[in-house]
């Protein structure tokens, strides 16, 4: 099990899998790995989709996997200052549930919220439906205690505002385990909004639904969440969850607005007005909390529902400008058709974070080659539209070969030097994120383009 995460990637078997419960034990594991020149791979719940927790051998032997799932305690909650200290193995949704009595929650809510851990969220700077208004994980992490490559323990960031010096906390969040292993995390707590309205708008055209996304933002509205689900995925979700989605719709938007009651009512009316102008067939507002939770269960169960269609899927994660959603979605459908593949779309439409799923049966001869070829073209289409490689899943092993399409040689060199400042021996999660030869000095004598 520890050879892989939730991606389709496997490389090497771990030589050792460790289950520490304390920072001291993590330090001991890292020091032992360093003594024996073994690479170290930090692993949380294994829900990552880019191969970030897949062990890769380097040095003199197999990798050491340090699994933080037993470090699962909420250490303290400061209601007045709205801060909680947690261990990295705390499950994302468990933290929010534990805060219910304080009428607070942890705002980043990935679709894997029921199983992913805070440490993994920090490693990948994870997002989620409600990050349109509230921001991704980095906006909700104040400080992190980190075991560095030499086994020392450092605190990055602080609870106080305007701390002088470099923002090493910001550098660490999203570094995918290449700069160290988090052992204690101070997270910002968000008060529950006084009022919430969750809306479902359905369309007979995917283009109309995508156009409505831009229309909502252009109207000066920033919903708490703005999600899109297209036709075949709607059918799968409705058959799986029975959330009340219109199974005959080409696309639906799930829109949530929150805040003070008067403002929420006004925003909901404005969303409905934009939807009607953009061709929404119906606009439905959840009547109560039960219906609201059911609508969200449908969205967050989407990837599991795909199993009703085919046994395998390849989930992509690119971001494109909202104004280019319509054309990029059309291109994704064309790409899938050319490769004789079924594509199903469910994604964070508000910030243009696409999640096309290429659905297939891996037992079919030659299908994996077509899936990867289509995936390459989807990434290319997103970058040509002015997009970026990832919104929340990370680079890992999956996308490091594309880094040179987005970054210049100087950009990659700067990233490699930052990484080396934390881990000069490149022992922490090696072979991830940066392509070989990212340091400018590594390119001497190498033909141009040979390292890409």
Number of structural domains in the chain: 4
CA distance 235 to 322: 25
pLDDT score at 146? 98
Quick one: 52 and 134 in the same domain? no
Are 213 and 228 spatial neighbours (Cβ–Cβ below 8 Å)? yes
Instruction: Check whether 324 has a pLDDT greater than 70.
Output: yes
- Work out the pLDDT band at 447, boundaries 50, 70, 90: very low
Quick one: 244 and 341 in the same domain? no
Quick one: 91 and 108 in the same domain? yes
3-state SS, 271-300, equals HHHHHHHCCCCEEEECCCHHHHHHHHHHHH
Task: With respect to residue 397, please indicate whether it lies within any of the assigned structural domains.
Answer: no
CA distance 272 to 292: 17
pLDDT score at 186? 98
Instruction: Check whether 10 has a pLDDT greater than 70.
Output: yes
Quick one: 237 and 299 in the same domain? yes
Domain CATH code at residue 375: 3.30.70.2740
Are 213 and 325 spatial neighbours (Cβ–Cβ below 8 Å)? yes
Quick one: 185 and 225 in the same domain? no
| Residue 110 half-sphere exposure toward CB, CA atoms < 13 A | 27
Task: With respect to residue 353, please indicate whether it lies within any of the assigned structural domains.
Answer: yes
Instruction: Check whether 261 has a pLDDT greater than 60.
Output: yes
pLDDT score at 74? 98
Q: CA separation (Å) from 308 to 13, 238, 357, 419?
A: 31, 11, 14, 42
Q: CA separation (Å) from 407 to 168, 219, 281?
A: 22, 33, 42
Sequential DSSP letters for 111-161: TTTTT-BHHHHHHHT---TTHHHH--GGGGEEEEEEE-TTS-EEEEE-SSS
Listed residues 257, 280, 304: the one ending a domain: 304
pLDDT score at 438? 80
The C-alpha angle 347, 349, 50, rounded to 5 degrees, equals 40
pLDDT score at 54? 96
Task: With respect to residue 240, please indicate whether it lies within any of the assigned structural domains.
Answer: yes
Listed residues 304, 327, 354: the one ending a domain: 304
- Per DSSP, helices labelled H in 189-339 are 206-218, 231-241, 261-277, 289-300, 302-305, 325-338
Q: CA separation (Å) from 18 to 35, 67, 97, 305?
A: 16, 6, 28, 33
Task: State the helix-helix crossing angle for 231-241 and 289-300, rounded to 10 degrees.
Answer: 120
Are 158 and 378 spatial neighbours (Cβ–Cβ below 8 Å)? no
Quick one: 108 and 181 in the same domain? yes
Quick one: 201 and 232 in the same domain? yes
Average pLDDT score, the chain:
93
Are 155 and 130 spatial neighbours (Cβ–Cβ below 8 Å)? no
Are 156 and 427 spatial neighbours (Cβ–Cβ below 8 Å)? no
CA distance 396 to 144: 21
Quick one: 318 and 247 in the same domain? no
CA distance 181 to 147: 5
Quick one: 55 and 159 in the same domain? no
* CA 168 to chain CA mean position, Å: 21
CA distance 253 to 415: 37
Task: With respect to residue 47, please indicate whether it lies within any of the assigned structural domains.
Answer: yes
Are 142 and 170 spatial neighbours (Cβ–Cβ below 8 Å)? no
Q: Starting at the edge strand that comes first in sequence, how are the strands of the sheet with 40-43 ordered?
A: 16-18, 64-67, 40-43
Task: With respect to residue 256, please indicate whether it lies within any of the assigned structural domains.
Answer: yes
Task: With respect to residue 229, please indicate whether it lies within any of the assigned structural domains.
Answer: yes
Listed residues 366, 384, 402: the one ending a domain: 384
Closest by Cα among 101, 109, 94 to 192: 101
pLDDT score at 437? 80
pLDDT score at 441? 61
Are 174 and 50 spatial neighbours (Cβ–Cβ below 8 Å)? no
User: pLDDT of 376-401, one tens digit each?
Assistant: 999 999 999 999 999 999 999 999 99
Quick one: 114 and 47 in the same domain? no
Task: With respect to residue 182, please indicate whether it lies within any of the assigned structural domains.
Answer: yes
Q: Which range of residues forms the domain containing residue 320? A: 310-384
Task: With respect to residue 45, please indicate whether it lies within any of the assigned structural domains.
Answer: yes
pLDDT score at 59? 65
Quick one: 263 and 339 in the same domain? no
By CB atoms closer than 10 A (0-12, 13-18, 19+), residue 365 is: exposed
Are 322 and 214 spatial neighbours (Cβ–Cβ below 8 Å)? yes
- DSSP letter for 348, please: B
Domain CATH code at residue 140: 3.30.465.10
Out of 52-61, 126-135, 146-155, 228-237, pick the least confident.
52-61
Quick one: 105 and 169 in the same domain? yes
Domain CATH code at residue 233: 3.30.70.2190
């Amino acid at each position: 099990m520890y050879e892989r995460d939730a991606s389709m990637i496997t490389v090497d078997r771990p030589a050792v899998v460790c289950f520490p419960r304390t920072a001291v034990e993590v330090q001991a594991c890292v020091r032992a790995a360093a003594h024996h020149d073994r690479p170290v791979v930090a692993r949380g719940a294994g829900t990552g989709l880019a191969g970030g927790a897949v062990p890769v051998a380097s040095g003199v032997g197999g990798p050491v996997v340090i699994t933080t799932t037993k470090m699962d305690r909420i250490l303290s909650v400061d209601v007045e200052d709205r801060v909680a200290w947690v261990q990295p193995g705390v499950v994302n949704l468990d933290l929010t549930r534990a805060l219910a009595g304080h009428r607070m929650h942890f705002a980043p809510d990935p679709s894997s919220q029921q199983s992913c851990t805070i440490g993994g969220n920090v490693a990948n700077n994870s997002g989620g439906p409600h990050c349109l208004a509230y921001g991704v994980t980095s906006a909700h992490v104040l400080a992190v205690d980190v075991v560095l490559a030499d086994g020392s323990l450092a605190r990055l960031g602080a609870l106080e505002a305007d701390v002088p010096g470099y923002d090493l906390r910001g550098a660490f969040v999203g570094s995918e385990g290449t700069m160290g292993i988090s052992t204690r995390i101070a997270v910002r707590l968000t008060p529950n909004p006084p009022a919430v309205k969750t809306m479902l708008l359905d369309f007979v055209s995917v283009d109309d639904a995508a156009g409505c996304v831009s229309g909502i933002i252009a109207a000066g509205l920033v919903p708490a969440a703005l999600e899109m689900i297209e036709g075949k995925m709607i059918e799968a979700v409705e058959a799986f969850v029975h959330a009340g989605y219109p199974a005959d719709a080409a696309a639906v938007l799930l829109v949530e607005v929150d805040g003070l009651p008067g403002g929420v009512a006004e925003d909901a009316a404005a969303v409905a007005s934009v939807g009607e102008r953009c061709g929404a067939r119906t606009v439905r507002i959840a009547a109560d909390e039960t219906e609201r939770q059911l609508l969200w269960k449908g969205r967050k169960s989407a990837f599991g529902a795909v199993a009703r269609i085919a046994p395998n899927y390849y989930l992509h994660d690119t971001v494109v400008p909202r104004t280019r959603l319509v054309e990029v979605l059309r291109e994704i459908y064309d790409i899938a058709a050319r490769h004789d593949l079924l594509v199903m779309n469910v994604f964070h439409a508000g910030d243009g974070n696409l999640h096309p799923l290429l659905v297939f049966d891996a037992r079919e001869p030659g299908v994996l080659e077509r899936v990867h070829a289509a995936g390459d073209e989807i990434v290319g289409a997103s970058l040509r539209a002015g997009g970026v490689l990832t919104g929340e899943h990370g680079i890992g092993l999956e996308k490091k070969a594309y880094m040179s399409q987005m970054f210049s040689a100087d950009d990659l060199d700067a990233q490699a030097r930052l990484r080396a400042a934390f881990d000069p021996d490149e022992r922490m999660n090696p072979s991830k994120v940066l392509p070989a030869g990212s340091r400018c000095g590594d390119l001497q004598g190498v033909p141009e383009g040979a390292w890409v």
